[in-house]
Amino acid sequence: MNVLAFESSCDETGVALVSTQAVGLPMLRAHALYSQVQMHAAYGGVVPELASRDHIRRALPLTRQVLHEAGATLAEIDVVAFTRGPGLAGALLVGAGVACALAAALGKPTLGVHHLEGHLLSPFLSADAPEFPFVALLVSGGHTQLMRVDAVGRYTLLGESIDDAAGEAFDKSAKLLGLGYPGGPALAVLATQGRADAYPLPRPLLHSGNLDFSFAGLKTAVLTQHRKLGTAPTPGQLADLAASTQAAIVEVLVKKSLAALKSSGLKRLVVSGGVGANAELRRQLDEAIARRGLRVHYPELALCTDNGAMIGLAAAMRLQSGAATASMDYAFDVRPRWALDQIDGANPIAA
């Protein structure tokens, strides 16, 4: 089965071709990505209307590119998948519209996919693929969640952020430090030149006794600390503040992940979402997990942030496992707000 997949939930247009195999996991044949980051950077954040218009421009050229790279034709496509939510409504509608129109023209079925399920399953595309069951740490720009994953479609929420996501904490702190948008990766680079213990920043909910997170207070603490540095902080002071901010976020993510492993009794951690690309998070998790004789799995670096490959993979794994069936009615809706433990089985149209 060949799945053509579209991702358009935010500011990246992703298209991928994923094929199931008789034995083993689905295979990524080709994928292509267009990032709108530069366009939105001028506004200091994502402008939804511009995002939607740009997805329209990119979807078909990227599709041609993917088919060309895979050496495949439209006639070989069996299912067209798209990100149904969560995300920006207009941006999601572009991907859903293109996917359903293409599927209708081909006479093939469609499947709407949950964006976070894509992130969650994305480590299955890496050479070191995990095995069920595991604890997933989902850390993206919009979500910070710990889930228990028993099988495709069997997800139990263990804890989540009660306010900002970890990616938001990176981005908002980076903005305060004048690092532009989205500042997470830039803050991580600057942090390599600073001392992580230079400034005392809060570790919210670290000892809350549950698996929830809170990052909204951190940006206020970073702002206060930044103000104390006066109007002309030195590059060294900014690097120290970046390193201290990263250390606060990473420490909470690592400790809560370990607590989730301990309380669930599971032996594997799977990390996914954009913040999963953070080198310091990976370093600390690797060390802590190895010390306890546990395992940790990550997606390939290029597949940590939004992409079409993870949507194609999630669609293929859902169809293969029987967790979902594809639909032939070409009526679609999108779900801008959609909890991962609320995904239903079959049709993309839900009540």
- Which positions lie near ligand KG4, rule CB under 6 A? 10, 119, 140-142, 167, 170-171, 182, 184-185, 188, 273-275, 277-278, 305-306
Min separation Cβ 322 and Zn ion, Å: 26
CB of 307 to Zn ion, least distance (A): 9
DSSP string, 182-225: S-HHHHHHHHTTS-TTSS----TTTTSSSS-B--HHHHHHHHHH
Nearest residue (CB) to Zn ion, 140 versus 246: 140
Site for Zn ion in 305-324 (CB under 5 A): 306
Task: Report, in Å, the least distance between residue 191 CB and ligand KG4.
Answer: 9
CB atoms within 10 A of CB 73: 9
Partner from Zn ion, ligand KG4, none binding residue 299, C-beta < 5-8 Å depending on class = none
**Angstrom distance (rounded) from CA 244 to CA 133:** 34
Which CB, 119 or 297, lies closer to ligand KG4?
119
Partner interacting with residue 182 (select from ligand KG4, Zn ion, none; CB below 5-8 Å by kind)? ligand KG4
In the complex, least distance from residue 166 CB atom to ligand KG4, rounded to whole angstroms? 8
Q: How far is the CB of 184 from ligand KG4 (least distance, A)?
A: 2
Give which of ligand KG4, Zn ion, none residue 275 binds (C-beta under 5 to 8 Å, depending on kind). Answer: ligand KG4
**CB nearer to ligand KG4: pick between 103 and 174:** 174
Q: Select the residue interacting with Zn ion from 36, 52, 140, 246 (CB under 5 A).
A: 140
Angstrom distance (rounded) from CA 110 to CA 18: 14
Could you give the 3-state DSSP secondary structure of residue 162?
Answer: coil
Long-range contacts of 32-41 (CB under 8 A, 24+ apart): 32/62, 32/65, 32/66, 32/69, 32/308, 33/62, 33/307, 33/308, 34/58, 34/62, 35/11, 36/11, 36/12, 37/11, 37/181, 37/182, 40/11, 40/181, 41/180, 41/181
Name residue, tokens 């079409």. Answer: 308
Of 214 and 327, the one with the shorter C-beta distance to ligand KG4 is: 214
CB of 273 to Zn ion, least distance (A): 6
* Number of residues counted as binding Zn ion (CB under 5 A): 2
Per DSSP, the residues of 277-309 read G-HHHHHHHHHHHHHTT-EEE---GGGTSS-HH
Nearer to ligand KG4 (CB atom), residue 45 or residue 345: 45
Report the alpha-carbon distance of residue 204 to residue 216 in Å, rounded.
Answer: 9
Residue with Cβ nearer ligand KG4 (109 or 276):
276
User: Rounded distance, CA 218 to CA 59, Å?
Assistant: 38
Report the nearest approach of ligand KG4 to the CB of residue 87 (Å).
Answer: 8
Which residues of the shown chain bind Zn ion in the complex (CB under 5 A)? 140, 306
